[in-house]
Amino acid sequence: MSLLTPDLGLVFWMLIAFGIVVFILTKFAFPPIIKGVEDRRRYIDESLAAAKQAQEDLKNVKADGEKILEQAKKEQARILAEAVKSRETIIRDAMDKAQKEADVMIGLARKQIEAEKDDAIRDIRKEVVNLSFDIAEKILRKNLDQKAEQEAVINQLIDDMNVYKS
């Protein structure tokens, strides 16, 4: 039956037609279509990935900002605490130093006062001796002719001197 036997002529034409179709479609039609579709797919994938990345970055930025803020607060508190501490130490140091200085000055003053007192005493003593000698001279000059009186005066002078000395 002719329906079931391939016919040479039609096979020939079919080879030509199919060959041309295969050549043109595989060369010029399907490659750009498939390439376009795959480019689009890649583009969509990349865009999605980029969007995801951006979202993540944003989240990270927020977290980073919070972290930085927290750190700054901590730093601030620490610096404040340090300042308070250093202020106290400075004040205490200053006070200590002032105390010491004052002590030293007071000591010096005391010493000077002592020395000046000693000087004064010494001067006074010298003055007293001079005065005593003057007095004694005068008295001696006046009362040397009366023996009894003389002795009394001398004794008294000596007593006075002793009293003064003690």
Partner 1 sequence: MFSKALKCFLSAWMFLAMSTSLSAGVVSQADSLEAEAAPLDVKELILEHLKDDYEWHIATYKDKDIGIPLPVILYSKNSGAQLFSSAKFHQNKGYYKGFYISKSGKYKGKIVETDASGNEIRPIDLSLTKNALSLLIGSFLLILLMLFIARTYKDEPIKPKKGLIGAMEVFILSIYDDVIKPVLGEDYKEYRYYLLTLFFFIFFNNILGLVPIFPGGANVTGNISVTFTLALCTFLIVNLTGTKEYYKGIFWPDVPVWLKFPLPLMIIIELVGLITKPFALMIRLFANIMAGHAIVLGLVSLIFITAGMGAALSSSMTGFSVVLTIFIYFIEILVAYIQAYVFTTFTAVFISGARVKSPKTEKSLKST
CA R_g for the chain: 63
* 145 three-class SS: coil
In whole angstroms, the minimum distance from the beta carbon of 49 to partner 1 comes to 16
Cα–Cα dist 166/164, whole Å: 5
Among 4, 141, 145, 162, binds partner 1 (CB under 8 A): 4
Instruction: Name the token pair of 54.
Output: 């951006």
12 contacts partner 1 (rule: CB under 8 A): yes
Cα–Cα dist 42/47, whole Å: 8
Of residues 18-77, those binding partner 1 (CB under 8 A): 18, 20-22, 24-26, 28-37, 39-40, 43
Helices 147-165, 30-143: crossing angle, 10 deg rounding: 170
Which CB atom, from 29 or from 152, has the smaller least distance to partner 1? 29
Cα–Cα dist 2/8, whole Å: 12
In whole angstroms, the minimum distance from the beta carbon of 23 to partner 1 comes to 9
Which CB atom, from 11 or from 98, has the smaller least distance to partner 1? 11
Cα–Cα dist 13/8, whole Å: 9
107 contacts partner 1 (rule: CB under 8 A): no
In whole angstroms, the minimum distance from the beta carbon of 48 to partner 1 comes to 15
In whole angstroms, the minimum distance from the beta carbon of 52 to partner 1 comes to 20
- Where do contacts with partner 1 occur on this chain (CB under 8 A)? 2-15, 17-18, 20-22, 24-26, 28-37, 39-40, 43
